[in-house]
A and B are shown apart, each in its own frame.
Chain A
Amino acid sequence: MRYAMAIDTLKCVGCSDCVIACQMENNVPLGFCRDWVVESVHGTYPQVGLELRSERCNHCENAPCVRCCPTGASHIVDGGIVLVTPEKCIGCGACIQACPYDARYSHPEGYVDKCTFCVHRIDEGLDPACVAVCPTKCMYFGDLDDVNSDISKILARRKFKALAPEAGTNPQIYYLV
């Protein structure tokens, strides 16, 4: 099993519903977020375009945050999901520095927090909160090892990219372009 997410930049309107749905679902304190929206503009008026990306932890196969964690708080579970065990985390912040995607933040309660792919929802057969709420249905979540999953099918059909491939982390968030 290999969980991954594909996000269609051609449909995303950048509304940030994914951000607030995650905050509500996961009790993310105000002022912090586990996912966020990036807008990158290219060209000059009127030959100008933009790309909108909902970004979050890439649940990397080769995860530097897990490698650098001194206590084993950052770890990988079934399906390749990278998690942090708050009780084990000492809040040293090494993982925050190691992450090429700036996906982690220090929770005010003293541990490092980030996207969990809503593992508590996946366990119940639900999509992550961001995927379930998206008004444009631009996000696909599922198992890459299952060739019949929506995500496998869309990645087989569409052009896509991942972020910071040069970091060599083998990220599992794919952007359809």
Chain B
Amino acid sequence: MKTRREFIKISALGIGAAAIAAQSNKWGLGSPLFAATKKGNYTSATKIVSTYCEVCFWKCAAWAHVDDNGKVLKLIGNDADPQCNGRLCPRGTGGVGMLYDDDRLKTPLIRVTENGKQTYREASWDEALDFIANKMKEIAAANGPESVALFNHGSAGSHFSHLLKAFGSATITAPSYAQCRGPREVGFETTFGSQIGSPEPTDIRDTRCLVLIGSHLGENMHNGQVQEFSDAIDKGATIITVDPRLSIAANKSKYWLPIKPSTDMALLLAWIHVLIFDELYNKEYVEKHSIGLEQLKEHVRPFTPEWAYGITTIQPSLIRNTAKEMADNAPSVLVHPGRHVTWYGDDAQRSRAIAIINGLLGSWGARGGFFMKEGASIPDFPHPAYPKPAWSWHELLNGKFPFATMSVSNTFIDASIASEDNKHPIKAWFIAGTNLPVAIPLMSQMEKALQDLELVVVVDTMPTEVTGFADVVLPECTYLERHDDLRDAPHREPTIALREPATEPKWESKPAWWIAKELGERLGLHDYFAYDTFEEVIKWQLEQKGLTLEEMQSKGVVVLPRKTESPYLDPKESHQFKTPSGKIEFYSSTLAAAGFDPMPVYTPHPEPEEGFYRLIYGRAPMHTFSRTVNNPNLADLMDENTVWVHPKVASLWGLQEGKYTYLRNQDAITSDFPIKIRVTERIRWDSVYMVHGFGHNRKELSNAFGKGIDDTQLITKVLIDPLMGGTGMRSNFVTFASTGAHNEEEAAI
């Protein structure tokens, strides 16, 4: 069936693309990245330029080492940056590969129909930007500016947020909430009145006891946390890890609890039971700072370790011992809130159980627990007030998800599917720096939305899956070729980091700030973009903080003094928590009033049928989801994911290490590609595991195409969190299949 918006393969462009590519020589950057010199890179850099990393969102400050030809030779962490302490992670070290990836988007592209077939043709920036601006004006005239929405992730997002807000739309979202960390923000806010945010204010460096619930630090390479994790090991901290897989962190733990997947809540309730009934909790702290202990005590009375044993398969003695270990180290104990926590649809409540345990131990505000972070509060460059939109993400919730504190991406998708019930229809999408088909489950819904939209604009560096759905594709340059906002990452001390271009943009790519400004000018929004270069913006902002650009260029990072004296609460002082009661709320009247459980309860979750295994996914230290798998340097470290299978399961199915299998899920969806089998004792027999972000079906991603499986494709059952709209993705089950549903050619379309 022909659709309005056919998925277009950018590789079909042919000669034009090659001609554009040849122009790269004008920058002197046409030479291959690893033209081997026997001397090594070290001696040939002639200047260093301050940047901060964009390979993940930890944003470590770094120095780009650049030679006389403008070639970036290597990236080295900035010693002054508390996020990285001079040591980038493998992704940051390999960030150069993002710059010199020949598969990058090279020129603006516009969707056209030629001989009845949709394709892209190359366009000039003027033509592409005029097209978008005219379409935006048309859509705003008919439906209001609010119907232009933004999906964003990463540094480019702030420039387009500014553009849309100036245009009159606050219909802005990111998959990082409903597909990732949203539930923990709600769980902690309803308990402590504060969200966790990013980077996490976890005082791992000084903790005496670190508890990880499914968090796999070391594989999840958020740099500062991993560095502090190593410091904690050095200092002999007790590590307790709950994971059905022997993760790297589990292997470094004094206690590994190989839990039956989906039963974490039962374990958490049993821990609360032990802490209260064995009187192990931090009595002074609880008395001073909390309300609801009595109700909590009654609530957890039945949830003994023996009760939890029958659910979790964790021995009661182990549950008691680990609770005692936490209490013995309190308040320097940290039950980590995790990061990607959209698992089973009751995730905000599970996060609340984690928050409650931290409350009982007194770790919030304690050294070795959670510190009170502080940011640099960098003022916005002067611009007129944004017009007030008639509606925004709140209205898209349609009365659902009352505890959502940020926009819920899936409600944006629903509002983009044409329907008479849509009170607030979305007509256009800007997609900046996020590959939606791999980031958000339920592709069928997204495909419907993409057919109905009047304008889809994708801004990216790479021809990712989502670019194939765009009307206009805009090639953004990489972080090493552009200015961006000053980095303000709240932490123990406020810091400011500078990103300047280390080299000229390759091909026709442009910085996001420039794209947003050019669109703004065309939309009559000049007053919001009253600068010629982004350096002017940065200079002005630095001046407001009493800093100069020259100082930032020589230091890269500046650490500012805190406004409050200490990142820890004074145990002698009282503290006003930002909850309705001003206290830590073990019992939440707010949740009760909204019709939710005021205290977390255990709900059994779906189990696999015979012959099926729970699909668990996670991260590898050298990749950031799908955004890095085509990076030639990082692909060199890991170019495909594997499916981890327990040896008994392997023998049952005749699966051999190193051979390939397809996977089929409970809804009879079969993977596009086969995946390599890894037979290992590190995984439970009821589950399989794979790293997220692989299995790309676009041939123009030449290093990533067809390598491994995209777990998102197999996540067709999603359990929605009624508190905040999170998409629980861990109730999908797979079995092994000898053939795929498609051959490769079909899969690529």
Residues on B with C-beta less than 8 A from A41 are 680-682
A163 contacts the other chain (Cβ, under 8 Å)?
no
Segment of B104-112, B246-254, B400-408 engaged in the interface with chain A = B246-254
Which of the segments A42-50, A69-77, A93-101 contacts the partner chain?
A42-50
Complex contacts, B94 vs chain A, CB 8 Å = 20, 24
Q: Is the CB of A25 within 8 A of B622?
A: no
Q: Between A and B, how many residue pairs show CB distances below 8 Å?
A: 139
User: Given A15-B89, A45-B682, A45-B683: A135 and B226 within 8 A (CB)?
Assistant: yes
Q: Contact: A121 with B42, CB < 8 Å?
A: yes
Q: A11-B233, A16-B637, A29-B36 are in contact. Are A50 and B251 (CB under 8 A)?
A: yes
Q: Is A15 touching B90 in the complex (CB atoms < 8 A)?
A: yes
Instruction: Establish whether residues B230 and A107, one from each chain, have CB atoms under 8 Å apart when the complex forms.
Output: no
Whether B636 contacts A30 by the Cβ 8 Å rule is yes
The reply on B632 being an interface residue by CB < 8 A is yes
Q: Let me know if A20 and B682 touch, CB within 8 A.
A: no
- If A121-B42, A132-B87 touch, whether A24 touches B96 (CB-CB below 8 Å) is yes
Query: Would B682 and A17 count as touching, CB distance under 8 A?
Result: no
Complex Cα distance, B88 from A17, in Å, reads: 8
Flag whether B218 is at the interface (Cβ < 8 A): yes
Contact present for A19 and B37 (CB under 8 Å) = no
For the complex formed, measure the closest distance between the CB of B230 and the CB atoms of chain A, giving whole angstroms: 4
- Determine how close the nearest CB of chain A comes to the CB of B376; give it in whole angstroms: 24
- Chain A residues whose C-beta falls within 8 Å of the C-beta of B229 in the assembled complex: 13, 136
- Given the complex of chains A and B, what is the CA–CA distance between A41 and B248 in angstroms? 11
A125 within 8 A of B: no
- Is A120 an interface residue when CB atoms closer than 8 A count as contact? yes
Q: Which of B37, B246, B634 contacts A50, CB < 8 Å? A: B246
Which chain B positions have C-beta within 8 A of A23? 633, 636
Is A165 among interface residues, defined by CB-CB distance under 8 A? no
0/1 interface trace, chain B 83-98, chain A, CB 8 Å (1 if under): 0101111100110100
Within the complex, the shortest CB–CB distance from A75 to chain B, in Å, comes to 16
Bound CA span A137–B226, Å: 10
Q: Are B681 and A20 in contact (CB under 8 A)?
A: no
Shortest beta-carbon distance, B224 to chain A, in Å? 9
Whether the Cβ atoms of A46 and B621 lie closer than 8 Å is no
B524 to chain A, nearest CB (A): 46
Q: Does A133 contact B (CB under 8 A)?
A: yes
Q: Which residues of A contact B638 (CB under 8 A)?
A: 16
A14, B646: Cα distance in complex, Å: 21
Which one, B41, B246, B634, contacts A48 given CB within 8 A? B246
User: Which residue of A21, A28, A48, A138 is within 8 Å of B230 (Cβ)?
Assistant: A138
Q: How far does the alpha carbon of A31 sit from the alpha carbon of B637 in the complex, in Å?
A: 9
* Cβ contacts A118-148/B at 8 Å (1 or 0 each): 1011000000000011111110000000000
The answer to whether B621 touches A15 (Cβ under 8 A) is yes
CA distance A27 to B37 in the complex (A): 7
Kindly identify which residue among B227, B251, B636, B683 contacts A137, using a CB–CB cutoff of 8 Å: B227
User: Would A136 and B681 count as touching, CB distance under 8 A?
Assistant: no
- Tell me if A170 counts as interface (CB < 8 A to partner B): no
Q: Judge if B74 is at the interface, Cβ distance under 8 Å.
A: yes
Q: What are the residues of chain B within 8 A of A46 when measuring CB–CB?
A: 246, 256, 258
Closest to B634 in A: A20
Within 8 A of A (CB), among B618-633: 621-622, 632-633
Does any Cβ of B come within 8 Å of A91's Cβ?
no
Q: A20-B94, A20-B637 are known contacts. Are A15 and B622 too (CB-CB below 8 A)?
A: yes
Q: Is the CB of A120 within 8 A of B43?
A: yes
- The reply to whether the CB of A52 lies closer than 8 angstroms to some CB of chain B is yes
Interchain CB contact under 8 A, A52 and B681 = no
Tell me, rounded to whole Å, the shortest Cβ–Cβ distance linking A65 to chain B.
18
Asked if A26 lies at the interface with its beta carbon under 8 angstroms from chain B, I say yes
Nearest-CB distance from A55 to chain B (Å)?
A: 15
Contact of B93 with A20 in the complex, beta carbons under 8 Å:
yes
Proximity string of chain B (238-267) to chain A, C-beta cutoff 8 Å, 1 when within and 0 when not: 000000001010011000101000000000
Residues of A within 8 A of B39 (CB): 120
Say whether B223 faces chain A, with CB atoms less than 8 Å apart. yes
Judge whether B219 is part of the interface by a CB distance below 8 angstroms.
Answer: yes
Q: A27-B40, A86-B38 are in contact. Are A45 and B636 (CB under 8 A)?
A: no
Contact A50 B682 (CB under 8 A): yes
A109 near B: Cβ within 8 Å? yes
Question: Is A45 within 8 A of B684, CB to CB?
Answer: yes
With contact pairs A13-B226, A135-B230 given, residues A27 and B248 touching in the complex (Cβ less than 8 Å) = no
Is the C-beta of B685 less than 8 angstroms from some C-beta in chain A? yes
B42 with A25: CB separation less than 8 A: yes
Chain A residues near B221 (CB, 8 Å)? 15, 135
**B633: nearest residue on chain A (CB-CB)?**
A20
Docked Cα-Cα span, A135 to B88, in Å, equals 7
* Interchain CA distance A134-B74 in the complex, whole Å: 15
Decide: A27 and B34 in contact? CB cutoff 8 A: yes
Q: Say whether B73 faces chain A, with CB atoms less than 8 Å apart.
A: yes
Quick check: A136 and B230 within 8 Å, CB to CB? Answer: yes
B610 lies within 8 A of chain A by Cβ: no
User: Which of B77, B251, B680 is within 8 Å of A49, CB to CB?
Assistant: B251
Given A11-B234, A17-B89, A20-B90, A44–B681 Cβ distance below 8 Å? yes
- Closest-by-CB residue of A relative to B96 is A24
* Closest A residue by C-beta to B88: A133
Specify which chain A residues have a CB less than 8 angstroms from the CB of B252 in the assembled complex: 10-11
Pairwise interchain contact B637-A19, C-beta atoms closer than 8 A = yes
Q: A20-B622, A30-B636 are in contact. Are A135 and B223 (CB under 8 A)?
A: yes
Given contacts A19-B637, A41-B681, A120-B43, contact A107 B36 (CB under 8 A): yes
Let me know if B248 and A13 touch, CB within 8 A.
yes
Instruction: Name B223's closest neighbour in chain A (CB-CB).
Output: A135
Alpha-carbon distance between A31 and B32 when the two chains are bound, in angstroms: 14
Do B681 and A17 touch across chains, with their CB atoms under 8 A apart?
no
CA distance A23 to B681 in the complex (A): 32
State A72–B88 Cα separation when bound (angstroms): 38
Contacting residue for A27 out of B36, B77, B234, CB 8 A = B36
Contact B40 A120 (CB under 8 A): yes
* Min distance, Cβ A113 to any Cβ of chain B, angstroms: 9
What is the CB-to-nearest-CB distance from B94 to chain A, in angstroms, rounded to a whole number? Answer: 5
Residue of A nearest to B36 (CB): A27
Interfacial chain A residues near B77, Cβ < 8 Å: 133
* CB of A99, distance to nearest CB on chain B (Å): 21
Q: Please, which residues of chain A bring their CB within 8 A of the CB of B251? A: 49-50
A to B CB contacts below 8 Å, 25 in the list: A11-B233, A11-B252, A13-B248, A14-B218, A15-B218, A15-B226, A15-B621, A17-B90, A19-B637, A20-B637, A21-B90, A21-B93, A24-B74, A24-B94, A25-B41, A25-B42, A25-B74, A48-B246, A50-B246, A120-B39, A135-B84, A135-B88, A135-B227, A137-B230, A138-B230
User: What are the nearest 7 A-B pairs in CB distance?
Assistant: A13-B218, A15-B621, A136-B230, A17-B90, A46-B258, A24-B74, A48-B681
Other 19 A-B pairs with CB < 8 A, given A16-B637, A17-B88: A13-B230, A16-B622, A17-B87, A17-B93, A20-B90, A20-B636, A21-B93, A24-B73, A25-B41, A25-B42, A27-B40, A46-B256, A49-B251, A50-B682, A120-B39, A136-B218, A136-B227, A136-B230, A137-B230
Residues of B within 8 A of A (CB): 34-43, 73-77, 84, 86-90, 93-94, 96, 217-219, 221, 223, 226-227, 229-230, 233-234, 246, 248, 251-252, 256, 258, 621-622, 632-634, 636-638, 646, 680-685
